Amino acid sequence: MNYLHLLQNRFACKEFNKEKVSTAKIHEILQAGVLSPSSLGLEPWTFYVLQSPEKIEKLKQFCNSKKQFETCAFAVILASKNNFEPQGQTVQKALKRREDFDKVYELYSPYLKRLESKNAHEYGALQCYIAATNMVNCAHTLGVDSCIIGGYDEESINKEFLPKDEFCALVLTFGYKASGQPKHKKMRFSFNEKVKFI
């Protein structure tokens, strides 16, 4: 499938048909997230997969009761670590995989030290957005539809589902589209309106 064709045809699915997605396809979608690029190679994410109706219903309560949760095959909470101190576990575990650890640690440490809690939150979330993009696009190549959920009660999701050193950066729902989806024609501004060569 041509990549631009994929982007032209993928849409935010608001209603699924409740059909199960195979384990093989779920794993492939998640692997697209695992293989995603991340700043400094830290890979600060964890992907929490919810398949039971009970857990999906609980998540729905924290996501403005969006209807996607009533029919999706599974949902994924994309969580990020919330601390990027140079000597902390997240950074050390990621960087020590590298043969040039001493060099990159010296190079990256000044930047990471400047990440205050608010900036660290944004920094971690941005990494998860990259993974989310790859996951929903991979799903489309497999014939699996998806919706990115940005409206949610982060504090409640964190408390209910996540360890204390992580926060919810994004929620995704997956499944097969119900009849009549998408309901609207895809709209985008023109290339010339959004691209400026300077």
Q: What CATH number is attached to the domain comprising 36?
A: 3.40.109.10
117 has a pLDDT exceeding 80: no
Query: What does the block give as tokens for 19?
Result: 């059909």
Task: Give 45's strand partners.
Answer: 80
Is 75 within a domain?
yes
- Cis upstream peptide for 182 (omega within 30°): yes
Mean pLDDT of the chain: 94
Is 95 within a domain?
no
> What's the pLDDT score for residue 18?
95
Q: What is the pLDDT of residues 154-183, one digit of tens each?
A: 999 999 999 999 999 999 999 999 998 888
> What's the pLDDT score for residue 170?
98
Is 16 within a domain?
yes
Q: What is the pLDDT of residues 23-51, one digit of tens each?
A: 999 999 999 999 999 999 999 999 999 99
Is 93 within a domain?
no
In the chain, the number of structural domains is: 1
Is 173 within a domain?
yes
> What's the pLDDT score for residue 113?
85
> What's the pLDDT score for residue 167?
97
Is 90 within a domain?
no
Is 10 within a domain?
yes
Is 168:156 a contact under the CB 8 Å cutoff?
A: no
> Between these two residues, 184 and 70, which has the higher pLDDT value?
70
184 has a pLDDT exceeding 90: no
Is 59:171 a contact under the CB 8 Å cutoff?
A: yes
CA distances, 91 to each of 25, 94, 101 (Å)? 31, 5, 11
> What's the pLDDT score for residue 5?
93
User: Picking from 5-19, 62-76, 108-122, 137-151, which range would have the lowest pLDDT averaged per residue?
Assistant: 108-122
User: Picking from 69-78, 110-119, 134-143, 163-172, which range would have the lowest pLDDT averaged per residue?
Assistant: 110-119
Is 106 within a domain?
no
CA distances, 21 to each of 86, 98, 141, 158, 181 (Å)? 40, 36, 14, 26, 18
> What's the pLDDT score for residue 115?
79
Q: How confident is the model at residue 194 (pLDDT cuts 50, 70, 90)?
A: very high
> Which domain, by its residues, includes 71?
3-83+118-180
